Amino acid sequence: SSDYRNSVSLPRYVRVNTIKTTVEEVIEHFQSEGYVLEEPIKILNNLSPKTIRKDFHLSDLLILPPNTDLHNHALYLSGNIILQDKASCFPSYICSPSINSYAIDACAAPGNKTSHLSAIMNNTGKIWAFDLDKKRLKLLEKLTQRAGCKNIEAIHKSFLDVDPLDERYSKVEYILVDPSCSGSGIVNRLDGLVDSSEQETYQSDLIQKTQERLKNLSEFQIKIILHAFKFPSAKKVVYSTCSIHSQENEQVVKEVLQQNNNFILANRNDVIPTWDRRGISSEFVDDEESAEKLIRTLPEDFTNGFFVACFVRKTSYMENSA
């Protein structure tokens, strides 16, 4: 399994931008181009050319065969569809901010998850979208405008420098935390982080560099989640990475649970229960339930390698489920 990232080609996932159109309209558009609508299925290899189907888990997602190039397609250029891997649609879907609510996207650019949040909120309420990278934030502004989002304010700033007690954010209930990570889950990218057969030929100092990099990344990831926990009205904080390393995933979760008293993991039932691949249980000794509350994806699931954790404020979560 070590070199899957070079050999796999994933289906072409199409997220329907429900701000501008509907799933039915998009399907009809593709049908008018000769696509044939087929039944949703879980096993997505051998998709026939010119077929389209609804996704099994996400209602706003459509699936086309691999290598379908839609970058010049009218629906893409008009912001009616977003080209986004399935797994990266999970965080906003799990966050599910309600209509007229307030949200923060802490590491937002280029904004695929921001526009997804915006669509789920039906373009109401408000989303503050932070990013440290000015160029990427410009792209976020362009893409979210194209998507018709009217409830987003893009701010060029480190999320760590945002004051959680600032009056402006006093009603923020939902926070998405999708920080920089190693990217080791991304298919077709070879960054030399995972491949064990390759690692044997590595110079030992290169391995050490990798470990150092993962350590730095996870320290940053822990910091940024703990910062999100400080917002007084935050009741849901969704953390995600496109990494397959437990140092950036389960181990980060363990650490932030240990370092705070207010947030716990949401129950499995509230975190796409129909998704089978969960967190790595051996990372949670004496606490296998925690792993079940987390989501992992791999190319075997026809997506990039990805990780999602959904933290909820203990008090409000208990009240709601009582």
* Catalytic center residues: 242
Considering beta carbons, is residue 10 or 109 the nearer one to ligand SAM?
109
Q: Which two tokens stand for residue 249?
A: 């995933």
Cα 57 to its chain centre, rounded Å, is: 14
CB of 149 to ligand SAM, least distance (A): 13
Sequence-ordered strand ranges (E) for the chain: 12-16, 36-38, 51-54, 61-64, 81-83, 102-105, 126-131, 152-156, 172-177, 236-241, 263-265, 295-297, 306-313
Asked if residue 111 binds ligand SAM (CB under 6 A), the reply is: yes
Per rule CB under 6 A, count of chain residues that contact ligand SAM:
20
Binders in 113-132 for ligand SAM, by CB under 6 A: 113, 130-132
Q: Residue 295 pairs with which residues in a beta bridge?
A: 278, 308
Asked if residue 141 binds ligand SAM (CB under 6 A), the reply is: no
Strand arrangement of the beta sheet that strand 81-83 belongs to: 36-38, 51-54, 61-64, 12-16, 81-83
Q: Give 266's contacts (C-beta < 8 A, 6+ positions apart).
A: 236, 293, 310, 311, 312, 317
Asked if residue 109 binds ligand SAM (CB under 6 A), the reply is: yes
Question: Which stretch, 36-44, 100-108, 250-258, 314-322, contacts ligand SAM (CB under 6 A)?
Answer: 100-108
CB of 200 to ligand SAM, least distance (A): 30
CB of 51 to ligand SAM, least distance (A): 27
Considering beta carbons, is residue 106 or 172 the nearer one to ligand SAM?
106
Tokens 């049908």: give the residue. 31
Binders in 29-88 for ligand SAM, by CB under 6 A: 88
Binders in 148-187 for ligand SAM, by CB under 6 A: 158-160, 178-180
Considering beta carbons, is residue 128 or 159 the nearer one to ligand SAM?
159
Catalog residues that contact ligand SAM under the rule CB under 6 A: 88, 106-113, 130-133, 136, 158-160, 178-180
